[in-house]
Amino acid sequence: MIKPTFGDRIMIVSIYIFLILLGFVTFYPFWNSLVISFNSGQDTMLGGVTFWPRDFTLENYQIVFQDKRLLNAFLISVLRTVIGTFLSVLVTALLAYGLSKKELIGRKFFMIFCLLTMFFSGGLIPTFLLVRGIGLMDSFWAMIIPTLVLVWNMIIFRTFFQQLPKGLEESAKIDGCGNWQIFFRIVLPLSGPVIATLSLFTAVFHWNDWFFPSIYISSENLIPIQTLLRQVLNSNTVTSQMSQLDAGALAHMSNVAKVTGKSLSMATMMVATIPIILVYPFVQKHFVKGVLIGSLKE
Amino acid sequence: MKSEVITKSIKTNKKKSFFKRYFGQLDLQMMVIPGLVFIFIFNYIPMYGVLMAFQNYDIFEGMMGSTWVGLEHFKMFFSDPRFLEIMRNTFVISGLKILICFPAPIMLALMLNEVKNMAFKRTVQTITYLPHFLSWVIVAGFAMSILSTDNGSLNFALEKIGLIDEPISFLAIPEYFWTIIVSTNLWKSIGFASIVYIAAIAGVDPQLYEAAALDGASRFKQIFLITIPSIMPIIVIFFILEVGNLLNAGFEDLLILGDSAILRSVSDVIDTYVYRVGIGSGRYSYATAIGLFKAIISVGLLTLANYIARRNGNSLW
């Protein structure tokens, strides 16, 4: 082993310092918001709440969890994420499996048909008018159907299916299994990691998307949590932030009177983020792999 | 003679069996049909809908009944009083993102590669990947909280160390907007974007480093002589994609953080303008024309970038 030079030592030390700073800057906004959400709103207004709650309270969360509009929005988000991810991954994987078969008639044409959509798109307005034209406006399915097939995911699935050993499928075919049986009984069980990765990405998209509901959905009881949160954060003053909240919660609030618009929106933000934080550690290993499969294809 | 007969029989055999072959693999075809139908409806029909850029689209008449106006909407956009401002914002914001958010993950990957303490490395990776998974609503919420005038952490810290006397309303001052947009984008993307480069660096042949070390190159020198040249092809490919996306200056970030009347003059880019004009004011044909204008330039840019890259030996297609 060659001894590191003096310059190298300086470099390593500055890298460590820089990375610690980066980690801090990345983590601090999240931590600070978490702290504020557990701190009494009035106390937060006095300023200086940074790393630790000064006046610890669960009030913010109590009020947030009593807000019927917010709970409903949370439920809509969960439904959208579960149904949207399931259907999207299913249809996309089926398409990918079909396209991974060399004997599929029209395979080349279908592939180009899919790939072209990655370079050309109709854009926002024609898509919006189409969704309205086919009567999806203000329906739960408007958040699911237009983005059902994700071509990018299809390519990753297809690459994966093509790498599977052919032997298993062939012996199943000899035993009289059809393509659908092979797909569900043999191929899917072998595809755990890629399904996990792509489901994660699809679920994150569905959970985080606030834009499509903001143009497609007008009924209040169909609005997902991110879109609701956007409306709350968008109202500039504390009073209008509070008026965004449910009347019942507001009445409750006048009794407590210690919460503020800021402390409530921080608690709401945490509620909207926690599902992602909970899933994140379990799939971290997988998504690194997923990103790499995707970029290799590029 | 004989071979003619044979080829003929093969041909007829093929012709005859097309439907047979198709129905023979009907179960396989049934797998791809749903996906293809959805792609047709939600990707190809809107592509046809782009034609409304050349019409005065009438919601009641539909595309069939609307009158054709040629390039009128394009001309209208070029003479729009906000045209220059919007183009400037698009290029400046996008340019700043390329200048700062593109090289940053590469540098992060290079730094992480020098870290030999695996636990430390993994912790930094876990923390920096996380923001990628948060929605722009949440990220903007963090930014608003940190930058707020009523005791946001940044104002608090700046006052504490005596740099300012009065809290600054960062999110309401146009001069700060571009800095805020680039910083929040950097915050959100740096970790996740570094994954690809970390993988590329891991693929560099270790013998190269050993040879360089024997020749007396320091770690610092090895980065520039071995690591960076080795991952250059990937950097070039991602750079091409980035240039092709030059007109995608951002959308969700700008809509949320730049959504106040004071900031419009610095936050409106082509995409957000299409949204405001189209969905907001219902001028569908005009908005579609602006979108199409952008799409055409984007394809041109991508082709140009690829041409330049090909001349240097790395290309996308």
Give the residue extent of every domain in chain B: 2-68, 76-311
Per-residue pLDDT of A150-208, as tens digits, reads: 999 999 899 889 888 888 888 888 888 888 988 998 889 888 888 988 898 899 999 99
Query: What are the CA-CA distances from residue B130 to residues A135, A210, A276 (Å)?
Result: 37, 19, 9
CA distance B91 to chain A (A): 20
Q: Is B33 within 8 Å of A108 (Cβ atoms)?
A: no
Residues of B in contact with A284 (CB under 8 A): 126, 129
Which amino acid belongs to residue B186?
Answer: L
Under an 8 A CB cutoff, do B25 and A276 touch?
A: no
Per-residue pLDDT of B166-203, as tens digits, reads: 888 898 899 999 999 999 999 999 999 999 899 899 88
Give the residue extent of every domain in chain A: 59-298
Under an 8 A CB cutoff, do B279 and A23 touch?
A: no
Residues of B in contact with A150 (CB under 8 A): none
Q: Is A97 within 8 Å of A157 (Cβ atoms)?
A: yes
pLDDT at A114: 92
CATH of B76-311, picked from 2.30.110.10, 1.10.3720.10, 3.40.50.1260, 2.10.109.10, is: 1.10.3720.10
d(C-alpha B256, C-alpha B135), whole Å: 11
pLDDT at A252 over 70: no
pLDDT at A298: 40
pLDDT at A248 over 60: no
Which amino acid belongs to residue A208?
Answer: N
Average pLDDT, chain A: 85
Q: Provide the pLDDT confidence category of residue B219 given band limits of 50, 70 and 90.
A: confident
d(C-alpha A228, C-alpha A220), whole Å: 9
Query: What are the CA-CA distances from residue B277 to residues A206, B62, B269, B295 (Å)?
Result: 26, 19, 12, 17
User: By C-alpha distance, which of B132, B44, B305, B163 is closest to A113?
Assistant: B44
Count, residues in chain B? 317
Q: Which two tokens stand for residue A259?
A: 């919460």
Under an 8 A CB cutoff, do A123 and B29 touch?
A: no
The ipTM, to two decimals, is: 0.87
pLDDT at A80: 96
Residues of B in contact with A210 (CB under 8 A): 135-137, 252
User: By C-alpha distance, which of B245, B289, B118 is closest to A118?
Assistant: B245
Residue B195 has its nearest CB partner, among A23, A134, A288, at: A288
Average pLDDT, chain B: 87
pLDDT at B12: 52
Q: Provide the pLDDT confidence category of residue B98 given band limits of 50, 70 and 90.
A: very high
Under an 8 A CB cutoff, do A104 and B144 touch?
A: no
User: By C-alpha distance, which of A219, A227, A157, A143 is closest to A187?
Assistant: A157
DSSP string, chain A: -PPPPHHHHHHHHHHHHHHHHHHHHHHHHHHHHHHHHTB-HHHHHTS---SS-SSB-SHHHHHHHH-HHHHHHHHHHHHHHHHHHHHHHHHHHHHHHHHH-TT-TTHHHHHHHHHHHHH----HHHHHHHHHHTT-TTSGGGGTSTTS--HHHHHHHHHHHHHS-HHHHHHHHHTT--HHHHIIIIIHHHTHHHHHHHHHHHHHHHHH--HHHHHH---GGG--HHHHHHHHHHS-SHHHHHHTS-HHHHHHHHHH----HHHHHHHHHHHHHHHHHHHHHHHHHHHHHHHHHHHHH-
User: Which residues 121-140 of B are in CB contact (within 8 Å) with A?
Assistant: 123-124, 126-131, 133-138, 140
Under an 8 A CB cutoff, do B47 and A122 touch?
A: yes
Per-residue pLDDT of B119-149, as tens digits, reads: 999 999 999 999 999 999 999 999 998 998 8
B154 class by beta-carbon count within 10 Å (0-12 exposed, 13-18 middle, 19+ buried): middle
Which amino acid belongs to residue B50?
Answer: V
Residues of B in contact with A121 (CB under 8 A): 43, 46-47, 295
Under an 8 A CB cutoff, do A28 and B153 touch?
A: yes
pLDDT at A93 over 80: yes
Residues of B in contact with A117 (CB under 8 A): 39, 43-44
pLDDT at A237: 45
Under an 8 A CB cutoff, do A23 and B42 touch?
A: no
Q: Which two tokens stand for residue A113?
A: 């048909």
Per-residue pLDDT of B26-81, as tens digits, reads: 888 999 999 999 999 999 999 998 988 898 888 777 777 788 888 999 999 999 99
Residue B137 has its nearest CB partner, among A122, A230, A281, at: A230
Instruction: Give me the total of CB pairs closer than 8 Å, taking one residue from chain A and one from chain B.
Output: 262
Q: Please say whether the structural domain A59-298 has been given the CATH code 1.10.3720.10.
A: yes
Segment among A233-242, A244-253, B72-81, B125-134 with least mean pLDDT: A244-253
CA end-to-end span of chain B: 45
CA distance B122 to chain A (A): 11
Residues of B in contact with A91 (CB under 8 A): 34-35, 38
- Using the Cβ of B49 and the Cβ atoms of chain A, whether some distance falls under 8 Å is answered with yes
Backbone conformation region of residue A38, classed left if phi is above 0, alpha if psi is from -120 to 50, else beta: alpha
pTM: 0.87
Residues 6 or more apart in contact with residue B168 via CB below 8 angstroms: B149, B155, B158, B176
Per-residue pLDDT of A42-90, as tens digits, reads: 778 777 788 888 888 888 888 888 888 889 999 999 999 999 999 999 9
Residue A295 has its nearest CB partner, among B120, B196, B255, at: B196
pLDDT at B6: 52
pLDDT at A67: 85
pLDDT at A280: 80
User: Which residues 6-45 of B are in CB contact (within 8 Å) with A?
Assistant: 18, 21-22, 25, 27-32, 34-36, 38-39, 41-45
